[in-house]
Amino acid sequence: MTAPNIETIVSLAKRRGFVFPASEIYGGLGSSWDYGSLGVELANNIKKSWWRWLVHERDDIEGLDSSIIQNRQVWKYSGHETTFSDPLVDCRSCKGRFRLDKLQDVTCPKEPSANAGSGKECDLTEAREFNLMFRTTVGAVSSDEDESALAYLRPETAQGIFINFANVLNTSRRKLPFGIAQIGKAFRNEVTPGNFIFRTREFEQMEMEYFCRPEDAPTIHQEFIDAFQEWFYSLGISAANLKLYEQSKAELAHYAERTVDILYRFFPERDDEEKQFDELMGIANRTDYDLRVHSKKPEDAEGKRINPDSTEDLSYFDEATKQRFYPYVIEPAVGVNRTLLAVLMDAYTEKTNDKNETRVILKLKPELAPIKVAVLPLAKNKPEIVALAKDLKKQLLPSMRTVYDDTGGIGKLYARQDEIGTPFCVTVDHESLEDNAVTVRDRDTWEQERVNLLELKEHLQKRLS
């Protein structure tokens, strides 16, 4: 069983310290969230998995960490200044403001309209375009209106990769095809953020731009669509909750030739099965658009896309064919936060114990679990037991994230570790002092096994891998 709805996860996340509402003591700030001690570990583990899989395990991808604030020209030539907008409508009766293409996701904030999406009581204005980029100024300027100091917080990490294409190519001596991967924050002044961490104004992306010959792009695109589904399965997300969505010609971004979204069942409570799914990631064939627009030379015959501000030509010279061209780009773009939400929803399980009480178990893959092992002393007033438990924690820590916890009775401690997804608890009891063994308890089955201390580390490592 997966989580019945996002609200279940919001409550668990707050109760156990995964995610808190941001600025909560001042009343919050429109769908901003802070990640607590377990949330930051889970997010880090997701990012580590992505980075290891793409940058370390493959031989054709380089890493990058570019600036959040770039020269404004980046966003002028990428097209974001003119086209990175959503259609905005106002409701004349309730005064709510909504994104036209996401009306079904919002509830009207005020009476008399019951639901903006129903369209029944809403009296909507004509749609107008609202640019989503956050504006800021750079340096000590006299006024916030000073256009020459205008800059933006990046709305995607991708452009930082395109503008570094020549730097990476020249320093890594790569040949096509190869990719550049980056993880980092992105900012969008979303019209209607909401649904917990699904849509926020500040979020984190894991993006990879894979540069290839134009004729190879369709095949490589399909390979990444397949590979990313497998990656989500490896994170413990079940196939039944994932779905592919092929964007129609009308939906495609102006630069894209083909885009396939991977959707997750974020809204299982909705009656209409189709509406249960929403975007987890997008995988686009961005053609050669970005490298062309950031290049100093016009390339097409009509002299279109002239860029007088760039100092670099981002074309590629193929030694084998002696041809110069702009590579095509395949872009798999994943949100860290949406992945974290999907992972939590899919891992959420309820189980009844022998006292007929319902317990929550977070069946996280060991690779993602914030804590791998909790060492618990059965009697915290017995110094020898406490000393042995603390010593075990120290011994295991270099190989697996281990915590020591003596803040409650053993039943409570087990329940807490189940709820935060810790795969194994190790209990030190009176007998341990005599038989040199401890009890290893499995999160998912609640089965207990006696394991000798000399074999403990290897035993846990085997079961965690």
Q: Provide φ and ψ at 307, rounded to 5°.
A: -120, 100
Sort residue 95 into left (φ over 0), alpha (ψ -120 to 50) or beta: left
Distance separating alpha carbons of residues 9 and 19, to the nearest angstrom: 10
- Is 205 or 427 the residue whose CB approaches ligand ATP more closely? 205
Contact assessment for residue 325 and residue 297, using Cβ atoms and an 8 Å cutoff = no
For residue 414, state whether it binds ligand ATP (rule: CB under 6 A): no
Task: Report the distance separating Cα 161 and Cα 179, nearest Å.
Answer: 10
Is the Cα torsion angle 50, 3, 8, 414 positive or negative in sign? negative
**Is 426 an interacting residue with respect to ligand ATP (CB under 6 A)?**
no
Q: With CB under 6 A as the contact rule, which of the stretches 75-83, 299-307, 332-340, 360-368 interacts with ligand ATP?
A: 332-340
Among residues 195, 179, 154, the alpha carbon closest in space to that of 50 is found at 179
Which position among 160, 282, 327, 377 is part of the footprint of ligand ATP (CB under 6 A)? 282
d(CA 107, CA 103): 8
Q: Which helix (H) or strand (E) holds 211?
A: strand 202-212
Query: DSSP label at 331?
Result: E
# residues near ligand ATP by CB under 6 A: 16
Q: Is 429 in the site for ligand ATP (CB under 6 A)?
A: no
337 binds ligand ATP (CB under 6 A): yes
Pick one of 281, 345, 388, 437: the residue that binds ligand ATP (CB under 6 A): 281
| Contact flag: residue 199 with ligand ATP (CB under 6 A) | yes
Is residue 189 packed enough to be buried (19+ CB in 10 Å), middle (13-18) or exposed (0-12)?
middle
Q: In whole angstroms, give the CA distance from residue 440 to residue 20.
A: 32
Q: Is 196 left (phi over 0), alpha (psi -120 to 50) or beta?
A: left
For ligand ATP, the binding residue among 45, 78, 205, 287 (CB under 6 A) is 205
Please tell me whether residue 292 binds ligand ATP under the rule CB under 6 A: no
User: Looking at 144-152, 170-178, 273-281, 377-385, which segment touches ligand ATP (CB under 6 A)?
Assistant: 273-281
338 contacts ligand ATP (rule: CB under 6 A): yes
Count of residues in the chain = 465
Q: How far apart are CA 437 and CA 455, in angstroms?
A: 9
Tell me whether residue 157 or residue 417 sits nearer to ligand ATP (CB atom). Answer: 157
Question: Residue 218 and residue 223: Cα distance in Å, rounded?
Answer: 9
User: What residues are paired with 283 via a beta bridge?
Assistant: 260, 332
Residue nearest to ligand ATP (CB): 335
**Residue from 33, 203, 228, 277 that binds ligand ATP (CB under 6 A)?**
203
CB of 137 to ligand ATP, least distance (A): 23
- Tally helices (H) and strands (E) across the chain: 13, 23
Tokens at 252, concatenated: 């495609």
Stretch that binds ligand ATP, among 8-16, 114-122, 327-335, 379-387 (CB under 6 A): 327-335
To ligand ATP, the closest distance from the beta carbon of 48 in angstroms equals: 18
Residue from 81, 279, 312, 391 touching ligand ATP (CB under 6 A): that is 279
Residue 256 Cβ, how far from ligand ATP at the closest point, in Å?
A: 10
Selected range binding ligand ATP among 274-282, 288-296, 411-419, 454-462, rule: CB under 6 A: 274-282
Q: What is the DSSP letter of 149?
A: G
The DSSP output letter for 251 is T
User: Counting contacts by CB under 6 A, is residue 85 touching ligand ATP?
Assistant: no
Does 333 interact with ligand ATP (rule: CB under 6 A)? yes
Distance CA 377, CA 432 (A): 10
Interface pick for ligand ATP out of 41, 62, 190, 405 (rule CB under 6 A): 190
What are the φ/ψ torsions at residue 451 (nearest 5 degrees)?
A: -130, 135
Joined together, the tokens standing for residue 240 give: 């039944």
Question: Can residue 188 be called a binding residue for ligand ATP (CB under 6 A)?
Answer: yes
| Under rule CB under 6 A, residue 335 binds ligand ATP | yes
Strands 323-325 vs 316-318: parallel, antiparallel or unpaired: antiparallel
280 vs 456 by CB, closer to ligand ATP: 280
Question: Rule CB under 6 A: is residue 200 a binding residue for ligand ATP?
Answer: yes
* Per-residue tokens: 199: 């849509």
Nearest approach, Cβ of residue 434 and ligand ATP (Å): 54
CA distance 23 to 194: 16
Does 332 engage in binding with ligand ATP (CB under 6 A)?
Answer: no
Question: For residues 121-150, which are near ligand ATP according to CB under 6 A?
Answer: none
Tell me how far, at minimum, the Cβ of 407 lies from ligand ATP, in Å. 34
> Is 347:366 a contact under the CB 8 Å cutoff?
no
Gap between the Cα atoms of 268 and 223, Å rounded: 29
The minimum distance between CB 372 and ligand ATP, in angstroms, equals: 27
Binding piece for ligand ATP, criterion CB under 6 A, among 60-68, 115-123, 275-283, 357-365: 275-283
Q: Which is nearer to ligand ATP, 132 or 376 (CB)?
A: 132
> Which uninterrupted H or E stretch holds 114?
none
Residue 115: CB minimum distance to ligand ATP, A: 20
Which segment (17-25, 46-54, 328-336, 411-419) binds ligand ATP by CB under 6 A? 328-336
- The site for ligand ATP (CB under 6 A) is made up of 156, 188, 190, 199-200, 203, 205, 279-282, 333-335, 337-338
